[in-house]
Amino acid sequence: MSKEKSVSGTVGKALDVLNEFASIGRPARFSEVLAASKYPKTTLYRLLQTLTNEEMLSYDPEEQMYSLGVRLVRLAHAAWEQSSMAPIARPFVDALSHEVGLTVHLAQLDGGQVLYIDKRNSSAPIQMYSQAGKIGPAYCTGVGKAMMACLEEEALERVISQQSFHRYTEHTLTSAQDMRQELLTIKEEGVAFDREEHEHNIICIAAPILSLKGKLMGALSITTTRHRHSIDDLALFKDHLLDAAKQIGDEAEVWHFPDKL
């Protein structure tokens, strides 16, 4: 459990516990959760019971293991469809991926991290769930940097403070200063590059998706490997990418919920 921020209300605590399970990433016993938790024994116990009753957690009495429940999958399906821009963006993502023949990612900013909400791989048919819902660092991914470049000072400050600046590779930017510098460049160019900053051999070009009013909606990226392409190669896709991003942004603007029943 994130021991820093104290959450108010029972609901907050319950969701906090769910988060903990998500970050543990595998089924866990009561004591294990307790150790990681900021809540006292009894309280946590009751929370787990409640969540299990509500089927947000499932409990295996055999193994005495709690794990995240399938009800979440169900809810998420609805969330993905109605609240992310994935459904709107889908045709454009498809088209872009087809055009350039490379992998395309669609992401949003969520709590200082990058949340991938869609992925299209022109060649291999892929397993979406294994990508959608996945999170990644913002400071060393193309989509992350592209989005950060669009934040106004206050929001940017907050997001930067949430970055770990862990050095994944020798190309990773590891300080807020470097970051700010990089963001200026990105603002100028209109696109961000990931120069093997997160994973060796993986490079990408990314662009922010803005609504007409200028509100940041997410980001779009084209990913490839150093083996197959150079950064300069990727730069050639800039117009295609910006075009797709613009189209999605415009569409998202228009997208007004099916008016009244």
- Site membership for a second copy, residue 27 (CB under 8 A): yes
Q: At what angle do helices 9-24 and 41-53 cross, to 10 degrees?
A: 80
Q: Exactly one of 23, 64, 181, 201 binds DNA (CB under 7 A); which one?
A: 64
Give dist(CA 144, CA 134) in Å, integer: 13
Give dist(CA 223, CA 241) in Å, integer: 11
Q: Exactly one of 45, 80, 165, 168 binds DNA (CB under 7 A); which one?
A: 45
- Site membership for DNA, residue 54 (CB under 7 A): no
Q: Which is nearer to a second copy, 37 or 172 (CB)?
A: 37
Retrieve residue 226's tokens. Answer: 């150093």
Strands 202-210 and 192-195: antiparallel
Judged by CB under 7 A, the chain residues 11 through 30 that form the site for DNA are 11, 13, 29-30
- Site membership for a second copy, residue 212 (CB under 8 A): no
Site string (47-76) toward a second copy, x via CB under 8 A: x--xx-xxxx-x----x-x-xxxxxxxxxx
Nearest to 164 by CA among 220, 204, 111, 209: 111
What is the Cβ-side half-sphere exposure of residue 23, based on CA atoms within 13 angstroms?
Answer: 13
Please list the alpha-helical segments (H only) found in 25-166. Answer: 30-36, 41-53, 71-83, 86-100, 142-148, 153-161
Q: Which is nearer to DNA, 46 or 246 (CB)?
A: 46
Interacting residues toward DNA by CB under 7 A: 8-11, 13, 29-31, 34, 39-43, 45-47, 50, 64
Q: Please report, as ranges, the residues that interact with a second copy according to CB under 8 A.
A: 7, 9-12, 14-15, 18-19, 21-23, 25-27, 47, 50-51, 53-56, 58, 63, 65, 67-84, 86, 90, 108, 110-111, 115, 117-118, 121, 124-130, 132-135, 256-258
